[in-house]
């Protein structure tokens, strides 16, 4: 049996946070940073795992079920369980994982791992399926095996990425439309400030945001906030907290569509303004930011970023900003200083670009 190698990137969401499970819109890019899975099938009924980042020595049976596998191995095991549950072939062997996607930083190292495992397994079994099916199977593994109730954005972004394109995703139809996003042509870069505050305690908060959105949908008599139409919608939600949660989702969906238009117009000042508004909405209405993250956003804006916002599910992770290329070094130094002055841990600052999506490497 031949060795196969598959790679899948992490992602940055430019705008559209917590909209995926509300069947709204988001606009991620796939990153150049990616996870590689080297799979040597051996025809047994077990998978042996090694990860350069998370350590050696774990294995699980192809028949493993939710609850059977602990630690990071649950991600590959979940994908393989979901693949098998959907009626596809799986084979045993050894998987070696390595990655340059920061782990637990909101850049979706989890989806990168899932998609790389899934593409490697499909290549080994000569199974073909379209990308949205791959995304759904990976998501099912994360939701029902790992137990993380995440939406579909991370997998769709990792699978569909294109160089210098953002992806306008409509989660109602799961359609993905590439939108030109060539910042270098406009003298700009996407500067990422990783707070290095892992979003560890976010699972419960994430679930409670989902519950707020579901409760409000029931109050409004719709199956999803995407179906909400008409005037004075917010007035119909009595619960004050739920009302703000819904306001974030509805305004955020509009900001995603406006951002796609701004990109098409090459209007990056407008895009920056929409990013800044998105952050305020996440901070005040959805309440998923932290003082540490807010400080980074304020610092970037005060030093001349066109826009800045937290990206990812919240409670830590990364802040992204649109910055003139000529100012990157000065801006990085100023933000790092502001963060140190406020007593928070040192950030990692890097420039991100929109890169290609997941792929099987033809030459392992
Ligand atoms: P994020 O997706 O934002 O990076 P998550 O908490 O969703 O954060 O996923 C991170 C988890 O995914 C890690 O704790 C680990 O279990 C698993 N993981 C991601 N990348 C790797 C890797 N290269 N090797 C092993 N496990 C990984
Ligand atoms: Mg994740």
Please give the pLDDT value at position 199: 63
Please give the pLDDT value at position 201: 56
Task: State yes or no: ipTM above 0.85.
Answer: yes
Fold of 181-352: Alpha-Beta Plaits (3.30.70)
Same fold for the domain at 4-178 and the one at 181-352? no
CA of 235 relative to ligand 2 center, distance in Å: 34
> Which pair of tokens denotes residue 280?
């305020």
Please give the pLDDT value at position 55: 82
Please give the pLDDT value at position 241: 97
Please give the pLDDT value at position 363: 61
Domain layout of the chain by residue ranges: 4-178, 181-352
Give the C-alpha distances (Å, rounded to integers) separating 161 from 165, 178, 192, 273: 7, 8, 18, 24
Cα–Cα distance measured from residue 307 to residue 270, given in angstroms and rounded to the nearest whole number: 9
In the block, residue with structure tokens 């192809």: 62
Residue nearest to atom 6 of ligand 1 (CA): 104
Whether residue 348 contacts residue 197, with contact meaning beta carbons closer than 8 Å, is answered with: no
Please give the pLDDT value at position 171: 95
pLDDT single digits (tens) 224-253: 999 987 778 999 999 999 999 999 999 999
Q: SS3 for 72-87, per residue?
A: HHHHHHHHHHHHHHCC
Cα–Cα distance measured from residue 123 to residue 155, given in angstroms and rounded to the nearest whole number: 18
DSSP 143: I
pLDDT single digits (tens) 8-30: 999 999 999 999 999 999 999 99
Cβ of 7 less than 6 Å from ligand 1: no
Q: Which parts of the chain register pLDDT below 50?
A: none
Please give the pLDDT value at position 57: 72
Annotated catalytic residue: which of 20, 45, 56, 154?
Answer: 154
Cα–Cα distance measured from residue 14 to residue 228, given in angstroms and rounded to the nearest whole number: 24
Neighbours of 335 (CB within 10 A): 27
Cα–Cα distance measured from residue 47 to residue 136, given in angstroms and rounded to the nearest whole number: 22
CA of 248 relative to ligand 1 center, distance in Å: 27
Annotation says 154 is catalytic: yes
Cα–Cα distance measured from residue 332 to residue 295, given in angstroms and rounded to the nearest whole number: 14
Please give the pLDDT value at position 337: 98
Please give the pLDDT value at position 22: 96
Fold of 4-178: Ribosomal Protein S5; domain 2 (3.30.230)
pTM: 0.94
Cα–Cα distance measured from residue 83 to residue 118, given in angstroms and rounded to the nearest whole number: 8
Please give the pLDDT value at position 232: 87
Give the C-alpha distances (Å, rounded to integers) separating 222 from 170, 227, 352: 18, 6, 38
């Amino acid at each position: 049996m031949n060795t196969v190698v598959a790679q899948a990137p992490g992602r940055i969401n430019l705008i559209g946070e917590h909209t995926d499970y509300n069947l709204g819109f988001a606009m991620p890019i796939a990153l150049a940073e990616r996870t590689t899975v080297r799979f040597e099938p051996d025809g047994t009924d077990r998978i042996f795992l090694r990860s350069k980042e998370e350590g050696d020595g774990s294995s699980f049976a192809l028949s493993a079920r939710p609850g059977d596998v602990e630690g990071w191995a649950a991600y590959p095991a979940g994908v393989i369980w979901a693949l098998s549950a959907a009626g596809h072939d799986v084979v045993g062997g050894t998987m070696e994982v390595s990655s340059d996607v920061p782990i637990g930083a909101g850049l979706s190292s989890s989806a990168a791992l899932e998609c790389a495992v899934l593409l490697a397994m499909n290549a080994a079994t000569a199974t073909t399926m379209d990308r949205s099916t791959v995304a759904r199977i990976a998501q099912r593994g994360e939701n029902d095996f790992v137990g993380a109730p995440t939406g579909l954005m991370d997998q769709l972004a990792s699978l569909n990425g294109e160089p210098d394109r953002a992806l306008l995703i409509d989660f109602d139809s799961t359609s993905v439309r590439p939108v030109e996003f060539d910042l270098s042509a406009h003298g700009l870069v996407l500067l990422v400030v990783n707070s290095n505050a892992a979003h560890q305690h976010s699972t419960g908060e994430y679930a409670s945001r989902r519950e707020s959105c579901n409760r409000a949908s029931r109050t409004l008599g719709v199956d999803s906030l995407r179906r909400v139409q008409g005037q004075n919608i917010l007035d119909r939600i009595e619960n004050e907290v739920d009302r703000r949660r819904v306001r974030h989702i509805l305004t955020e969906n509009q900001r995603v569509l406006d951002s796609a238009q701004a990109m098409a117009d090459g209007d990056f000042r407008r895009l920056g303004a929409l990013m800044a508004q998105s952050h305020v909405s996440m901070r005040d209405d959805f309440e998923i930011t932290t003082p540490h993250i807010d400080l980074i956003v304020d610092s970037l804006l005060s030093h001349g970023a066109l826009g800045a916002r937290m990206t990812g599910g919240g409670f830590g992770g990364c802040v992204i900003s649109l910055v003139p290329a000529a100012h990157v070094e000065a801006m990085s130094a100023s933000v790092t200083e502001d963060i140190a002055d406020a007593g928070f841990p040192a950030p990692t600052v890097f420039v991100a670009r929109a890169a290609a999506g997941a792929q099987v490497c033809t030459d392992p």
